[in-house]
Amino acid sequence: MLTVLGIAVSPDLLDRWVDWLAPDEQPFFVTRKQANAWKLGTDDREPSREDRDTYWIYAIDRKAARTVWLTEAAYGELPKATRAGLVRAQVSYGRGFVPSVRRWSGVVGDGIRQQADGHRFVWWKSLLGNPMAVLPEIVSEDLGPSRHAEVRSWPRKLPRVEELAGTFADGSGPNCFGTVMAACGVEGAEHVWMVREPFEEWLAAHTERGGKDDVPGTVFVWRDAAGLVQHAAVTIGGGWMLHKPSQSWKSPRKVRTVAEVKRATRTAGWRLERHRVVL
């Protein structure tokens, strides 16, 4: 079985990764002026959670207020100059997954130079004939591996932590808050996009302030300058910690050292609190 970031990936999950990286229709972001100049019809449909995370829709420049949804066939029928301008615009506006030709031509072939401006391209399923050559590298980018195999003892205080450690979610949405709650025994929490309010309620009901980094069941909570919770993780003991870096489909529930998680989560304006799980 394929292993990514030290985690087993089933053929079914790999197929879903292909669909999330290169859906049959994908969004391109343009200004009204660009849509008119390139004769592109816009569509304000609601993107899926996977679309949101693949294309960083939450980070798109606000001036690109129009969305164009294109299939590979429709994209290919556009004049090359339009494709080139469209792809360059995606880079400018902050859309995700507009990789460089130089980075990927050796893997998927030099033909990608002809797709747009010769420097950047977008993923389509036709480029993913060998997904095992592409998806593991994409999912692993900027993420350290899960080190769950190095854990020698799993704490009884966290009844589901071993079950969750070193797993990928079934899609976008499941996040750090649900991961912590699930590790502490809340059934189903690992499958939902857990928003702040229910996490804060759980934190108030099942923890008390304090805790030590080397003791199982210390919940780390990072808050921004306004006091809003931004991230959470939980200690396993022995210097290990479980966390899920984001709600993205690429983000696993992984084990890292406490020091590694603290370093990776360090953000200007955030402050760290510790809460001890109370049984």
Contact 267, 195 (CB under 8 A): no
Whether pTM > 0.85 for this model: the answer is: yes
Contact 57, 21 (CB under 8 A): no
Comparison of pLDDT for 142 and 77, the residue scoring more = 77
Ordered alpha helix ranges (H), 94-231? 101-108, 135-140, 161-164, 176-183, 196-206
Q: Could you give all domains of the chain from N- to C-terminal order, each with its CATH number?
A: 23-127 (no CATH), 148-277 (3.90.1720)
Percent of the chain with pLDDT over 90: 97
- Give the sign of the dihedral formed by CA 233, CA 235, CA 236, CA 240: positive
Query: How confident is the model at residue 248, as a pLDDT?
Result: 97
Q: C-alpha dihedral over 250, 251, 257, 261, to 10 degrees?
A: 120
Instruction: Write the single-letter amino acid at 226.
Output: A
Q: How many CA atoms lie within 13 A of 189 on its CB side?
A: 23
In this predicted model, what pLDDT tens digit does every residue of 160-211 receive, in sequence order?
Answer: 999 999 999 999 999 999 999 999 999 999 999 999 999 999 999 999 999 9
pLDDT at 279 over 80: no
CA distance 178 to 191: 7
Longest alpha-carbon distance in the chain: 64
Contact 69, 27 (CB under 8 A): yes
Long-range Cβ contacts of 114-120 (<8 Å, 24+ apart): 114/80, 115/83, 115/87, 116/80, 116/83, 116/84, 116/86, 116/87, 116/88, 117/83, 117/84, 117/87, 117/88, 118/84, 120/87, 120/88, 120/90, 120/91
Six-digit token pair at 202? Answer: 């759980």
In this predicted model, what pLDDT tens digit does every residue of 1-57 receive, in sequence order?
Answer: 899 999 999 999 999 999 999 999 999 999 999 999 999 999 989 999 999 999 999
CA distance 101 to 111: 9
Place of tokens 């929490």: 189
In this predicted model, what pLDDT tens digit does every residue of 88-123 receive, in sequence order?
Answer: 999 999 999 999 999 999 999 999 999 999 999 999
Res. 142 pLDDT band, cuts 50 70 90: confident
Instruction: Write the single-letter amino acid at 7.
Output: I
CA distance 162 to 157: 11
Res. 227 pLDDT band, cuts 50 70 90: very high
